[in-house]
């Protein structure tokens, strides 16, 4: 499709174009086929004249058109359930107009089963069609039959019990406490916590939890602590007994509930004072004049010799000096003999600077790796094509020349 400027077309031209090229489509289909045209129709409120909703589409169709639509789009469908899964709206409209019988015949009804009136032997014979099946499998295949068999107590005769092997033992219920402990220690020697055992074997973990055997396995009993019942002094005392010496981040990772309780009650400062003391009050350097700022530097940081060293010792002072252009006056001159000041240069000067300093660079990737500041500025001003136009044409000429030479040699 050729590029069309929809804004230059009139309303009539838009409607005529849409009807000629996108007739008998819904709004969603039109939007997928041509999004620009659909947006233009929506903006001018012309969509009702061109496309209809799904409901209106079926209403405008006659019986013959609907039957033809079914035969063209769904020739492989042979049952009503298949059509209902593929296109529920078409199925409902065909059912309303009484056209399904001619297309797909009468509906297939299952023969009714009087499961409650059957004997036990008849029920057992009926379940044989599913083969060796577990309880879950029978419940999935035939839920009504499963309920009747379960109610009569025949579930063990009909289904096969599928249980995972438990090492040398059977069920956990039949094992004694000593057997459970020895099995857990032998099977999981590197066990670190309860959650790890729950991931490996949830049934074993639940059994140990029910019999209260965690302490015998070496895990402390977890006592529930109700923080809302504790006073502030009790909470601080609990923190000192359990978590003294931890930082705030370490406390949050170790026990988030204690950390949140301390923060909610504004006790975090008493428990863990802030390690990073604020060196300067707010707006300390901004309130100073230039002369005061220079005097402060000379009194406290006269030993500093480079800008990098000043940034490591006091980044805030370095930023304020740099903003006021006082770094040179302090004695921290830039190592660059001739600063580039690329932002102040014009477009022609930037291109000339690139061609004089980077003659060997042939691709944009090489320039980005070599001089990221220059590359970013050229890209921002859309000058990369002007810089690499000559190089790209030279490379193309070189390729053509080598191809011609190769063909002559052949």
Which tens digits make up the pLDDT trace of 250-275? 888 778 888 888 888 888 888 888 65
**Average pLDDT for the chain:** 78
Range in 124-133, 184-193, 255-264 the model is least confident about: 184-193
Q: Which residues contact 252 (CB under 8 A, 6 or more apart)?
A: 259
pLDDT level of residue 167 (50, 70, 90 thresholds): very low
Q: Is residue 332 over pLDDT 50? A: yes
Residue predicted with more confidence, 128 or 53: 128
* pLDDT at residue 338 in the model: 53
Mean pLDDT of 78-85: 78
pLDDT level of residue 392 (50, 70, 90 thresholds): very low
Mean pLDDT of 282-311: 85
pLDDT level of residue 112 (50, 70, 90 thresholds): low
* pLDDT at residue 229 in the model: 79
pLDDT level of residue 339 (50, 70, 90 thresholds): low
pLDDT level of residue 59 (50, 70, 90 thresholds): confident
Mapping DSSP onto H, E and C, the string for 37-78 reads: HHHHHHHCCCHHHHCECHHHHHHHCCHHHHHHHHHHHCCCCC
Q: Is residue 14 over pLDDT 60? A: yes
What separation in angstroms does the CA of 13 have from each of 35, 40, 233, 265?
Answer: 17, 12, 81, 70
* pLDDT at residue 53 in the model: 59
Distance separating alpha carbons of residues 182 and 217, to the nearest angstrom: 9
Range in 51-65, 124-138, 185-199, 390-404 the model is least confident about: 390-404
Q: Is residue 55 over pLDDT 70? A: no
Supply the pTM of this predicted model. Answer: 0.24
Range in 100-104, 163-167, 288-292 the model is least confident about: 163-167
* pLDDT at residue 84 in the model: 79
Q: Is residue 390 over pLDDT 70? A: no
- Give percent of the chain above pLDDT 70: 82
* pLDDT at residue 223 in the model: 63
Q: Is residue 51 over pLDDT 60? A: yes
Q: Is residue 216 over pLDDT 60? A: yes
Residue predicted with more confidence, 95 or 8: 95
The pLDDT tens digits of the residues spanning 313-328 come to: 888 888 888 888 888 8
pLDDT level of residue 164 (50, 70, 90 thresholds): very low
- Give percent of the chain above pLDDT 90: 0
Q: Is residue 5 over pLDDT 80? A: no
């Amino acid at each position: 499709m050729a590029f069309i400027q929809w804004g230059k077309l009139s309303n009539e031209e838009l409607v005529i174009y849409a009807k000629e090229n996108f007739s008998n489509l819904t709004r969603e289909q039109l939007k997928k086929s041509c999004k620009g045209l659909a947006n233009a129709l929506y903006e001018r409120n012309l969509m009702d004249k061109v496309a209809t909703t799904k409901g209106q589409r079926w209403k405008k169709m006659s019986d013959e058109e609907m039957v033809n639509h079914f035969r063209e789009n769904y020739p492989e469908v042979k049952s009503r359930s298949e059509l209902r899964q593929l296109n529920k709206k078409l199925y409902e409209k065909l059912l309303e107009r009484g056209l399904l019988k001619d297309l797909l015949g009468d509906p297939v009804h299952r023969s009714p089963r009087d499961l409650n009136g059957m004997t036990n032997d008849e029920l057992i014979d009926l379940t044989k069609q599913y083969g060796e099946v577990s309880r879950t499998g029978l419940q999935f295949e035939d839920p009504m039959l499963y309920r009747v068999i379960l109610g009569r107590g025949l579930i063990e005769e009909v289904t096969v019990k599928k249980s995972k092997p438990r090492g040398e033992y059977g069920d956990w219920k039949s094992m004694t406490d000593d057997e459970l402990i020895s099995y857990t220690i032998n099977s999981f020697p590197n066990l670190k916590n309860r959650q790890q055992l729950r991931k490996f074997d949830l049934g074993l973990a639940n059994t140990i939890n029910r019999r209260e055997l965690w302490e015998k396995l070496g895990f402390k009993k977890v006592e529930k602590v109700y923080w809302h019942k504790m006073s502030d002094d009790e909470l601080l005392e609990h923190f000192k007994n359990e978590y003294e010496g931890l930082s705030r981040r370490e406390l949050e990772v170790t026990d988030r509930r204690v950390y949140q309780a301390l923060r909610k009650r504004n006790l975090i400062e008493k428990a863990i004072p802030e390690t990073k003391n604020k060196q300067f009050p707010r707006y300390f350097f901004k309130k100073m004049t230039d002369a005061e700022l220079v005097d402060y530097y000379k009194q406290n940081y006269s030993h500093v010799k480079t800008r990098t060293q000043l940034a490591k010792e006091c980044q805030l002072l370095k930023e304020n000096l740099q903003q006021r252009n006082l770094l040179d006056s302090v004695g921290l001159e830039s190592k660059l003999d001739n600063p580039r000041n690329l932002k102040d240069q014009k477009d022609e000067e930037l291109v000339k600077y690139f061609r004089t300093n980077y003659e060997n660079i042939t691709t944009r990737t090489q320039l980005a790796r070599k001089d990221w500041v220059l590359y970013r500025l050229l890209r921002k001003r859309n000058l990369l094509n002007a810089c690499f136009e000559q190089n790209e044409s030279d490379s193309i000429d070189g390729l053509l020349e080598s191809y011609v030479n190769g063909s002559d040699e052949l």
